[in-house]
Amino acid sequence: MVRAGYANSSRREIHATLKMALSHALKWDLVRRNECEIVDAPRDIARPDSEERVRHLTDSQARLFFRVTEHERWQNYFRSATWGIKRII
């Protein structure tokens, strides 16, 4: 799942869900053992700096984005998500 790009939190949640489901299956005699009890829970893996770097839009790119999405369904969401950050429009 790491190679597929799943986030650390997603991997932990999937493990917890499988562990719980297999615990119920074990209680109901549907499986012989809970394999999630045998393996270690997923650990946080440090990612290279290049993946953690956030790229921001320039002012001109942001203006173009808002102009292009002016009549889109999510336009109000885009505007409210940037409210108070910097008045660029």
Mean of pLDDT values over 26-33: 91
Q: What is the mean pLDDT of residues 1-13?
A: 82
Domain positions in the chain are 1-44, 54-89
Q: Is the pLDDT of residue 45 over 80?
A: no
Q: Long-range pairs for 30-37 at CB < 8 Å and ≥24 separation? A: none
25 pLDDT tier (thresholds 50, 70, 90): very high
Whether pTM exceeds 0.75? no
Long-range contacts of 3-10 (CB under 8 A, 24+ apart): 8/42, 8/43, 8/44, 8/45
The token duo for 31 is 């499986």
Provide the token pair at 71.
Answer: 């009549």
Q: Report which of 53, 63, 75, 17 is spatially closest to residue 9, judged by C-alpha positions.
A: 17
